[in-house]
Amino acid sequence: MQTKPSVLVARAVFPEILHKLEQHFTVDSNQDDILFSAEELARRLQGKVGVFTTGSERISASLLAQCPELRICANMAVGYNNFDLPAMTSAGVVATNTPDVLTETTADFGFALLMATARRMAESEHFLRAGLWTRWSYDMFAGAEVHGSILGIIGMGRIGQGIARRGALGFGMKVLYCNRKPLDAATEAACQARHVSKTELLQTADHVMLVLPYSAEAHHTIGAAELALMKPTATLVNIARGGIVDDAALAAALRNRTIAAAGLDVFEGEPAVHPDLLTVPNVVLTPHIASATMPTRMAMAGLAADNLIGFLVHGKALTPLNAPAP
């Protein structure tokens, strides 16, 4: 009898997904969800041809050199800044991610965070829970208007476009965006969005939303200089990746009221959070949950599993990020 190929599932995952993988592979899983060190990951990958990863497993050139049998890494995330893609391509390892299945869910969350930030929902809830609410007053937790305001989106991929549609069609917002490449005219029209420079966007928008992928060039896209360009009444939302915002500079800007408020789902060095962000009141903080609904997480895990099965069993990954020479 032919032996099944061996794969590693590096983090805990839905039992249904493990079961699906077990139909095709000998599966080494990590249902205890203990985060592997780089050494432990390399050790567990010995003899494995595939790995199911999440954003917390770093696939580096050094790891690849230690795992010569590895042929595919399937990330359960649309972002893949945990992958050294050029090193994977030169090592002949296929990389896959999970586009599309999380677009609308993540756009929903981006919009929810925008509204919670603009309308001061976390700050006012903490006030109420602390027993500080004794009477109504005319300006208590008065925030910024969302409907009819100006939304600036940095990074206009699938999720950015979903947020633009929500803003323009649902809330009558004027939508500005900046992106490495402007959208084609039809997509721009569907999103009712106008391409502008980053400076114009920062100076004009009432709400700035970050949805760009992380790269070395995107590091600290928003730092002290950019925050200083924004309106003092403006809000900033980051659902992209930690490191795109200089979190120390943001905490200072929030404390000094350079901008009004921020909503953050991702952090530099997460799960650690810059201590200054924990002490400023005008920030809504969530633990990287923008794609976290059960149906969407199931779809993401299913697509990552299907990429392993597609490539290792049928010879073709569904959503490849690279095409290494065979």
- Site residues (CB under 6 A) for ligand DGY? 55, 77-79, 102, 291
Is 24 a catalytic site residue?
no
Nearer to ligand DGY, 235 or 291 (CB): 291
Q: Which DSSP state fits 120?
A: T
Nearer to ligand DGY, 231 or 297 (CB): 297
CB of 54 to ligand DGY, least distance (A): 6
Name the 3-class secondary structure at 240: coil
Is 219 a catalytic site residue?
no
> How many residues are there in the chain?
326
Name the 3-class secondary structure at 205: coil
The residue of the chain with the least Cβ separation from ligand DGY equals 79
Classify residue 152 as exposed, middle or buried by CB count within 10 Å of its CB (0-12, 13-18, 19+): buried
Nearer to ligand DGY, 97 or 117 (CB): 97
H/E run at residue 38: helix 38-44
CB of 311 to ligand DGY, least distance (A): 19
Amino acid identity, position 222: I
CB of 55 to ligand DGY, least distance (A): 4
Amino acid identity, position 28: D
Buried b (16+ CB within 10 A) or exposed e, 241-266: bbbbbbbebbbebbeeebbbbbbbbb
Nearer to ligand DGY, 168 or 292 (CB): 292
CB of 184 to ligand DGY, least distance (A): 25
CB of 77 to ligand DGY, least distance (A): 3
Question: Which runs of E-coded beta strand occur in the chain?
Answer: 6-9, 26-28, 50-53, 72-75, 94-96, 150-154, 174-178, 193-195, 207-210, 235-238, 261-264, 283-285
Nearer to ligand DGY, 177 or 267 (CB): 267
Q: Which two tokens stand for residue 65?
A: 């050199």
The active-site residue, picked from 71, 120, 241, 274, is 241
Nearer to ligand DGY, 55 or 152 (CB): 55
For residue 58, CA distances in Å to 10, 37, 99, 214, 216 come to 11, 9, 19, 14, 16
Is 207 a catalytic site residue?
no
CB of 193 to ligand DGY, least distance (A): 22
CA atoms within 13 A on the CB side of 321: 26
For 151, phi then psi, to 5°, come to -105, 130
CB of 48 to ligand DGY, least distance (A): 22
Instruction: Quote the CA–CA distance of 117 and 139 in Å, as a whole number.
Output: 16
Nearer to ligand DGY, 95 or 144 (CB): 95
**Mind telling me the catalytic residues?**
241, 270, 288
